[in-house]
């Protein structure tokens, strides 16, 4: 049953989350300067008509030039009809799609000149898919589903409005990533589970696991002699015209911590929720009983969650793995490549964060959920105590003579 106290605590947590986002975003945006390309203009448009299709010959491939008319659908030029072109070649095979009437596309123009096709607009389909996911989450999760959506929104906003700008403005990335992770942990668990012993145990276990993962990352960052250059995008970051260059080693640290915090949170919440149900069903469970149950539950969760984490990292870097396997000369070169080492580091440290969060969460749950005092027998009525005392006195005075022997 929802009480006024519960509602006040809930809205208090939401207000805290919003205040953190507002003040944090305002702080990091105070000296943020984003780069503007005054030489080009990018707009969204809808294709109305295909003017012509022309085959052209290039030195390295055959190409098709498509001229089309499109109506701009956003920005100051909304409603304006422009003529643009798309060039499709077979240099990379038949992987590019030719534009058709009705397609929604992104166009760009350099210095107010001709318009060129950049890409298809795909975000609208993702929005629809996301809306379906939210509806399903609300149908099956109800209030819990709503809380999950709310907490996820707070986490995403914190990453994109506080953490990312803090990197671009040269602030301490190590500190920023840890603060954002702790914020996400506290807000997510308190919004979903409320302010209670179960949430306290889960938050403590999460924080312990994330701090352990952070310490291990710092240690391995130094011992592995990492440079942070793991892709072409990493090199591009080095050449950004920023007052404070981006620390690529710190970027690796932040990526590992943020990636691990979600998995650690999942394990800690699962253990604390299961042990809370155990406490409800067995209120007289001892510290030892709850702790042992937490370890057993944690082992099952740990096994599946570690696999989930490792497979997620493998799936996200599958293209990179294939490329390295084809072009690297030997397994020694492959497994010592910084690209592979960083991916392995993310998976291993994330899994170790899960391992360390498991016993800590179980320990805190045992301390909070176990009965503090031994059970006491209910007091006997005064009349029964008095009657028992009289009977005991009579028995002590009684003497029975049987065959000349006294029995007391």
User: What domains lie within the chain, and their CATH numbers?
Assistant: 40-120 (2.40.50), 143-369 (1.20.1640)
CA-CA distance, 197 to 200, in Å (whole number)? 5
Q: Is the pLDDT of residue 375 over 50?
A: no
- Mean pLDDT computed over 221-227: 83
Q: What is the pLDDT of residues 380-404, one digit of tens each?
A: 444 444 555 544 554 455 444 444 4
Comparing 46-50, 51-55, 292-296, which segment has the lowest mean pLDDT? 51-55
CA 152, 153, 159, 160 torsion-angle sign: positive
Task: Write the secondary structure of 358-383 as one string of H (helix), E (strand) and C (coil).
Answer: HHHHHHHHHHHHCCCCCCCCCCCCHH
Say what the pLDDT of residue 274 is. 92
Q: What is the pLDDT of residues 63-90, one digit of tens each?
A: 788 999 999 998 888 999 999 999 887 6
CA-CA distance, 310 to 158, in Å (whole number)? 25
21 pLDDT band, cuts 50/70/90, is very high
Question: pTM for this one?
Answer: 0.79
Say what the pLDDT of residue 61 is. 66
């Amino acid at each position: 049953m929802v009480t006024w106290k519960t509602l006040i605590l809930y809205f208090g947590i939401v207000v805290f989350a919003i205040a953190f986002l507002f003040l944090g975003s305002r702080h990091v945006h105070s000296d943020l300067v984003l780069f503007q390309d005054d030489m080009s203009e990018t707009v969204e448009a809808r294709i109305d008509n295909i003017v012509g299709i022309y085959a052209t010959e290039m030195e390295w491939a055959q190409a098709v030039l498509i001229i089309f008319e499109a109506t701009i659908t956003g920005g100051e030029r909304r409603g304006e009809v422009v003529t643009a072109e798309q060039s499709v070649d077979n240099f990379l095979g038949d992987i590019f799609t030719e534009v058709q009437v009705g397609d929604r596309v992104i166009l760009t123009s350099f210095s107010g000149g001709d318009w060129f096709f950049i890409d298809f607009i795909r975000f609208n389909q993702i929005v629809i898919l996301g809306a379906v996911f939210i509806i399903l989450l609300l149908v099956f999760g109800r209030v819990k589903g709503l809380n999950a959506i709310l907490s996820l929104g707070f986490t995403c906003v914190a990453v994109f409005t506080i953490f990312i700008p803090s990197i671009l403005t040269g602030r301490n990335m190590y500190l920023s990533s840890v603060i954002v992770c702790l914020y996400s942990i506290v807000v997510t668990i308190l919004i979903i589970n409320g302010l209670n012993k179960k949430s306290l145990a889960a938050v403590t276990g999460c924080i312990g696991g994330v701090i352990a993962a952070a310490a291990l990352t710092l240690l391995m960052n130094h011992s592995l002699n990492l440079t942070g250059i793991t892709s072409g995008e990493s090199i591009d970051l080095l050449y950004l015209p920023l007052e404070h260059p981006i620390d690529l080693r710190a970027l690796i640290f932040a990526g590992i911590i943020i990636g691990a915090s979600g998995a650690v949170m999942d394990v800690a919440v699962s253990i604390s929720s299961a042990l809370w149900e155990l406490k409800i069903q067995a209120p007289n469970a001892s510290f030892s009983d709850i702790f042992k149950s937490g370890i057993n539950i944690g082992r099952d969760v740990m096994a599946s969650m570690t696999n989930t984490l490792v497979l997620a990292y493998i799936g996200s870097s599958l293209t990179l793995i294939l490329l390295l396997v084809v072009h690297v000369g030997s397994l020694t070169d492959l497994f010592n490549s910084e690209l592979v080492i960083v991916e392995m580091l993310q998976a291993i440290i994330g899994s170790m964060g899960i391992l360390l969060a498991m016993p800590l969460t179980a320990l805190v749950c045992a301390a909070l959920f176990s009965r503090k005092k031994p059970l006491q027998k209910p007091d006997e009525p005064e009349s029964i105590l008095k009657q028992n005392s009289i009977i005991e006195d009579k028995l002590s005075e009684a003497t029975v003579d049987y065959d000349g022997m006294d029995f007391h």
